[in-house]
Amino acid sequence: MTIDFKTISFTASSAPDAEAAREELVALYGDTPLEEADVIVALGGDGFMLQTLHKAMNSAKHIYGMNKGSVGFLMNRYSTDKLHERIAAATENVIHPLEMKTEDAYGNKHTALAINEVSLLRQSYQAAKLRVDIDGKTRLAELTCDGLLLATPAGSTAYNLSAHGPILPLDTPLMALTPVSAFRPRHWRGALLPEKVVVDITVLEGEKRPVNAVADHQEVKSINHVRIRQARDMSVSILSDSDYSWSERILSEQFSP
């Protein structure tokens, strides 16, 4: 499939290399105001790419990233050559984020979206105690751990991987539920869940063992409960170079030494 576009807007992180790259590309290709562009070219690292994807949610714009950061797993290689041709030939991946709804210890309710993962993390020196319900059925009556995260395929190579969770191909209809330093049940290593399920996590002994919830970069402190589901009514389009697609990167990651 050929990506149909006419206009490009360039955006960059605050890093000097990213800002310099933006100036270089604008001089070569011009620049359309972001709200009018068909394609947004994001220059920076994975953190900046996530911010750009969040801002472009449900905008029908395509996001094409080029690496001017540290990790750059979500980014394509940086080059000033044949940018229009690269974008036109790129592979499109449509991502539906996770929706996190929380209630904190004061009764306040919060909603946030996550492209990578929703994570619950202990706030103090004491381990968290959590109850996990899937589609209304209790699957873990009590999980004692440092944290618990629910990752999308897009986020499976991020925090999920560092917590020894599974890598998921981008087009798989699954999510990874992965514990962080689980103490009880000691041998529980997580679960693969269908993308359509609703996950409810309740904090047990919250006053004694406070827990924070994080959706990508948005944090809610001292939560009592979180509900997570895939937001099928929300989407964002990310483009990867045809010769090294995002699906290929995730597959290659499983065979890296």
Mean pLDDT, range 66-89, rounded to an integer: 91
Tell me what percent of the residues of the chain surpass a pLDDT of 90: 84
Q: Are strands 109-114 and 117-122 parallel, antiparallel or unpaired?
A: unpaired
pLDDT at 250 over 90: no
pLDDT of res. 51 = 94
Cβ atoms of 99 and 218 within 8 Å: the answer is no
Query: Known catalytic residue: 46?
Result: yes
Distance CA 191, CA 179 (A): 9
Residue 75, H or E segment: none
Q: Is the pLDDT of residue 4 over 90?
A: no
d(CA 217, CA 47): 9
Q: Say what the pTM is.
A: 0.89
Strands (DSSP E) found in the chain: 8-12, 39-44, 62-67, 91-95, 98-104, 109-114, 117-122, 128-134, 137-145, 147-151, 174-180, 191-194, 199-204, 211-215, 218-220, 223-230, 236-240
pLDDT tens per residue, range 87-114: 999 999 999 999 999 999 999 999 999 9
254 annotated as ligand-binding: no
Q: Is 93 annotated as a binding residue?
A: no
Average pLDDT (114-126) is 95
Can you tell me the distance from the alpha carbon of 73 to that of 158, in angstroms, rounded to the nearest whole number? Answer: 9
Catalytic hit among 46, 104, 216, 241: 46
Cβ count near 101 (within 10 Å): 17
pLDDT confidence band for 187 (50 / 70 / 90): confident
pLDDT of residue 128: 96
Is domain 98-230 classified as CATH 2.60.120.580? no
Distance of CA 165 to CAs 60, 119, 120, 160, 251, Å?
31, 13, 15, 5, 15
- Identify which of 29, 36, 33 has the alpha carbon closest to the alpha carbon of residue 11: 33
- pLDDT tens, residue by residue, 193-228: 999 999 999 999 999 999 999 999 899 999 999 999
**24 is annotated as contributing to ligand binding:** no
Whether the per-residue pLDDT at 246 is higher than 80: the answer is no
The per-residue pLDDT for 171 is 83
CATH 3.40.50.300 fits 8-95+235-253, yes or no: no
Q: DSSP letter string over 135-196?
A: TTEEEEEEEEESEEEEE-TTTTTTHHHHTTPPP--TT-SEEEEEEES--BSTT---EEEETT
Between 58-62, 161-165, 209-213, 246-250, the lowest mean confidence (pLDDT) is in 246-250
Predicted local confidence at residue 1, as pLDDT: 65
Query: Any binding-site annotation on 159?
Result: yes
Asked, colleague to colleague, whether 8-95+235-253 and 98-230 share their fold, the answer is no
Tell me the domain boundaries of the chain: 8-95+235-253, 98-230
Task: Name which residue leads in pLDDT, 50 or 249.
Answer: 50
Which residue type, as a one-letter code, is found at position 249? R
Distance between first and last Cα of the chain: 33
Tell the residue number behind the tokens 């004491």, with chain if given.
126
